[in-house]
Chain A
Amino acid sequence: DQQVKQNSPSLSVQEGRISILNCDYTNSMFDYFLWYKKYPAEGPTFLISISSIKDKNEDGRFTVFLNKSAKHLSLHIVPSQPGDSAVYFCAASYTGANNLFFGTGTRLTVIP
């Protein structure tokens, strides 16, 4: 049973515009959330994370928003650049968990 869901398999955005990637989760125990970026032929690389005590975390062009009541998080990329084209995975964990729970990924294409 998929506890972390990314319902949009793909997203296309013009260069310079905002990219918004969404993620929903079902397990209310999750208290730590991460986004990973994956290029072809490479492993996922850590991008940004957020703890459940926050509702926003920002790192340069990347901002993650957490809505605990809706069990929803989103990743905003502003401005989007062609090099951001990749598959983005949402992941979640909770205190005492032994692993991360991953979503199925969203392929972002930034059009020059």
Chain B
Amino acid sequence: DADVTQTPRNRITKTGKRIMLECSQTKGHDRMYWYRQDPGLGLQLIYYSFDVKDINKGEISDGYSVSRQAQAKFSLSLESAIPNQTALYFCATSDSTLSGRETQYFGPGTRLLVL
């Protein structure tokens, strides 16, 4: 079984709709992240959470919100989807370290198309 799972794997929605992408992990990690990847670009951080009560904005948080329901679950919501949010979305987890030398482990991704 995969350590980091994402649902759905693919989603087509219409402009203005609210959608939620979900992420679950069995690695027991404290930290969870949401990234998006656009063609020809690297991964850009949307939101991150270092524990259940800690939520932080990343580089491109506008138009998104998140919820950390439990240590193992971190969901990403698009309140009112727009076409330029069409992208590949990845969830990642990592263990907290004092050194900052952490390795992030990624889910398989959700391909989102906003019409």
Contact = CB atoms under 8 A, between A and B. Distances in A.
A44 B106 contact: yes
Interface residues of B, number: 25
A97 B43 contact: no
Contacts of A94: 100
Interface of A: 2, 4, 9, 31-32, 34, 36, 41-46, 49, 51, 89, 93-100, 102-105
B109 A4 contact: no
Q: Chain A interface mostly helix, strand, loop or mixed?
A: loop
Interface of B: 4, 33, 40-45, 48, 50, 56, 58, 90, 92, 99-109
Nearest to B9: A41
A111 to B, nearest CB: 23
B100 A95 contact: yes
14 contacts: A36-B106, A41-B108, A42-B108, A43-B92, A44-B43, A44-B90, A46-B105, A89-B43, A93-B101, A95-B100, A95-B101, A99-B48, A99-B58, A102-B42
